[in-house]
Amino acid sequence: MASLRRVKVLLVLNLIAVAGFVLFLAKCRPITTKSGDSFHDIHPRIEVANLTAHGISSIQDAVLKRLSLLEDIVYRQLNGLSKSLGLIEGYGGRGKGGLPATLSPEEEEKAKGPHEKYGYNSYLSEKISLDRSIPDYRPTKCKELKYGKDLPQISIIFIFVNEALSVILRSVHSAVNHTPAPLLKEIILVDDNSDEEELKAPLEEYVNKRYPGLVKVVRNQKREGLIRARIEGWKAATGQVTGFFDAHVEFTAGWAEPVLSRIQENRKRVILPSIDNIKQDNFEVQRYENSAHGYSWELWCMYISPPKDWWDAGDPSLPIR
């Protein structure tokens, strides 16, 4: 009898909890959000009224809609951070899809000085979104590969000195956008004693607000050079794997899983993803198909054609040694 009473009490408590949740949804006021020039209203009472017809799925839909609204509100607030720097966010705009971006004749004149300073068209870079879409050039078989859920986490380390702010932030946005969140431990920006003011407080304030806790900034007190700067980034890293990149790159979907899978198989491996080209004048993405990076005996970086046994295997998803 005592156990029966306990069961009845638990049932009553569960019913009260469910009823309270339903009443909570019913009492919540409709949320109105602005998207462009149009408004969209969500009426939670309609969802609750159809509870018996649609069951739990209606409540889930209402919660998902509310979360999407919150996400939209947060995104608009974060988007304002880039505007204060004169930069752009979103997946459209100039250079969308990795296509060449262009400037007007008036803008071309303004771009000459920065172009000579950085070795690429930094003025044009400021007109290209930090989140622009670029092509996924992976072979079909690579896209079909499946990877385990226990892959190690990676710390992405960017080394820079007097790089254009827009290019650095596009590298960061691209890494966040195209690396699965469970696999991305952190992003570390190593400043090898830059002189540019925009790379000091403006950069640090932006990443701290835009990606709190995810992006760290390490600053060398004197110019150390590429290798020692990389070591400083490695010292600050807490991920199981460290990846070193120039701060003028853009990642594509699915780049991380094969890299981490190879290292998981053998921790002594050093992996280099397939690298395409971003043209310095117009930021067009140029595909370098079926090639590997390597070095000559003089240590010049070069593209290497895959060996005959790789071609004979007929599997473009295989690694190139």
- At 202 the pLDDT is 94
Lowest mean pLDDT among 41-45, 61-65, 245-249, 269-273: 41-45
Instruction: Pick 34 or 256 by higher pLDDT.
Output: 256
Q: Is the pLDDT score of 198 beyond 60?
A: yes
At 4 the pLDDT is: 42
Domain map of the chain by residue range? Answer: 141-277, 289-320
Please say if the pLDDT value at position 281 is more than 60: yes
Indicate if the pLDDT at residue 303 is higher than 70: yes
At 65-121, the pLDDT tens digits run 777 666 555 555 566 788 888 899 988 899 999 999 999 988 888 888 777 788 899
| pLDDT value, residue 122 | 92
- Read off φ and ψ for residue 173, nearest 5 degrees: -60, -45
State yes or no: pLDDT of 26 exceeds 90.
Answer: no
Q: What percent of the chain has pLDDT over 90?
A: 57
What does the alpha-carbon distance between residue 22 and residue 300 come to, in Å, rounded to a whole number? 67
**Is 141-277 a CATH 3.90.550.10 domain?**
yes
Strands 154-160 and 184-191: parallel
**pLDDT value, residue 9:** 46
Which ranges of the chain does DSSP label H, i.e. alpha helix?
A: 2-27, 44-49, 51-54, 56-83, 105-118, 122-125, 140-144, 165-178, 201-210, 226-236, 256-265, 308-313
Backbone φ and ψ of 38, nearest 5°: -110, 155
Q: Quickly count: other Cβ atoms within 10 Å of residue 182's Cβ.
A: 10
Q: What is the tens place of the pLDDT at every residue in 208-231?
A: 999 999 999 999 999 999 999 999
**Confidence band for 294, pLDDT divided at 50, 70 and 90:** confident
For residue 20, the model assigns a pLDDT of 55
Our CA angle for 156, 119, 110, nearest 5°, is 115
Residue 37's pLDDT is: 40
pLDDT at 73: 59
Which residue did the predictor score with more confidence, 269 or 9? 269
Per-residue confidence band for 17, with pLDDT thresholds at 50, 70 and 90 = low
pLDDT class of 164 with cuts at 50, 70, 90 = very high
What angle in degrees, to the nearest 10, is found between the helix axes of 56-83 and 201-210?
Answer: 180
Question: Whole-angstrom Cα distance, residue 224 to residue 221?
Answer: 9
Instruction: Kindly report, residue by residue over 173-194, the tens digit of the pLDDT.
Output: 999 999 999 999 999 999 999 9
**Helices 56-83 and 2-27, axial angle in degrees (round to 10):** 50
* β-strands 215-219, 241-246 pairing: unpaired
Q: Which of 89-93, 134-138, 232-236 has the highest mean pLDDT?
A: 232-236
Report the C-alpha gap between 213 and 211 in whole angstroms: 6
**What distance in Å separates the CA atoms of residue 59 and residue 48, rounded to the nearest whole number?**
7
